[in-house]
Amino acid sequence: MIDFNANKRPEEMERISTPALANAFIDAQVEALRKQIGDGKVLLALSGGVDSSVVAALLIRAVGKQLTCVHVNHGLLRKGESEQVIDVFRNQMDATLIYVDAVDRFLDKLAGVAEPEQKRKIIGAEFIRVFEEEARKLEGISFLGQGTIYPDILESDGVKAHHNVGGLPEDLNFQLVEPVKLLYKDEVRVVGKALGLPDSMVYRQPFPGPGLGVRCVGAITRDRLEAVRESDAILRQEFYKHGLDEKVWQYFTVVPDFKTTGITDGKRTYDWPVVIRAINTVDAVTAEPYELNFSFVQKLVKRITTEVPHVNRVLWDVTPKPSATIEWE
Ligand code: XMP
């Protein structure tokens, strides 16, 4: 019997690589969760990322309505992401899900802030504030679910840094519930698949906690953020259509905070460029650009410049890491 609350992965624990092994893990973990939680209530910040989604699905199976999920839309999510979280968890899995529209709050706080680390700090701090406010509105919560995974324990003292909920005030007195903390990422995905989560959630590419905020370079404005979101949606659609989503580790668009001249329908324009980035890496410490087919790039250029308002130019960033980082901020 594996102690799922231990901080060290037991040597005899087999790598979860098949549906059968995932189902055995799910059965054992559901039993362990029921024992830990009893008739208590659990709160979970559900971003829609792989880890928090798998934790939500496990908790729904174990304790159903004793779980309350809070999904905070900070305005920096990709197109359709909040809608998918609501559809999968509220509509399909019948979870209790509180949707918090905090878009204006975040964008107001970020207005005029150009320095990348300052932007990250504001997003992280505001996230904790919004989540704390929701937690205080609820009564009788004694447990906090968290999507900590094994690399978090190995690399950063068990703190899920980018989940941003580590900083909740102590007086809330929550006991942590971390059902996937002994699992590696690939195992979390196998478990998520066995729990019936959609492939687009289980196999999705890494997405930074500060979201599109670090891809809208410099001080975020609503119209430039929309240009990031719309161009990202086109890029993802085309990657999926051409099977590139399975070949490329991370792919996204960036909109820098400068304009250049262009021409549309015979008229001079002064608008933003969109940068496309597609990289492969093993561990994100170093990364190589993926060599996209040139006619595919031209297709992206055509769609982005015609479909995204206020964009007249597309650039392709082929810089490896180092010298660049993967993200632009
Ligand atoms: P960089 O840009 O440092 O990115 O080469 C390495 C990987 O980390 C992701 N990334 C972040 N993830 N919070 C996150 O959760 C962040 O602030 C953050 N910054 C970068 C990035 O998307 C890439 O996969």
| Euclidean distance between CA atoms 35 and 55, whole angstroms | 16
The model's pLDDT over 289-327, given as tens digits with 9 standing for 90+, comes to 999 999 999 999 999 999 999 999 999 999 999 999 999
pLDDT grade, residue 1 (50/70/90)? confident
Structure token pair of residue 71: 């999904």
State the Cα angle at 124 between 119 and 126, rounded to 5°: 95
pLDDT on residue 157: 62
For the domain spanning 19-202, the CATH number is 3.40.50.620
Judged against a pLDDT cut of 50, whether residue 164 lies above it is answered with no
The closest-lying atom of ligand 1 relative to the alpha carbon of residue 250 is 24
**β strands within 8-120, DSSP E:** 41-45, 67-73, 96-101
Checking if the pLDDT of 162 tops 60, the result is: no
What tens digit of pLDDT does each residue of 222-244 get?
A: 999 999 999 999 999 999 999 99
Encoded amino acid at 96, one letter: T
Residue position matching structure tokens 């971003």: 47
Grouping H, G, I as helix, E, B as strand and the rest as coil, residue 196 is coil
pLDDT band at 4 (very low <50, low <70, confident <90, very high): confident
Q: What is the DSSP letter of 217?
A: -
Q: How far is the CA of 78 from the centre of ligand 1 (A)?
A: 15
Shortest-distance Cα residue to atom 12 of ligand 1: 208
Query: What are the pocket residues of ligand 1 if the criterion is a CB atom closer than 6 Å to any ligand atom?
Result: 120, 162, 206, 208-210, 250, 284, 321, 325-327
CA of 210 to the centre of ligand 1 (A): 9
Is the pTM higher than 0.85? The answer reads yes
Domain limits of the chain?
Answer: 19-202, 215-317
Q: The domain 215-317: what is its CATH number? A: 3.30.300.10
57: its two tokens: 């699905």
Q: In the prediction, which pLDDT does 158 show?
A: 55
Provide the pairing of β-strand 267-280 with 288-289. Answer: antiparallel
Digit-coded pLDDT (tens) for 22-74: 999 999 999 999 999 999 999 999 999 999 999 999 999 999 999 999 999 99
Question: Ligand 1 centroid to 205 CA: how many Å?
Answer: 12
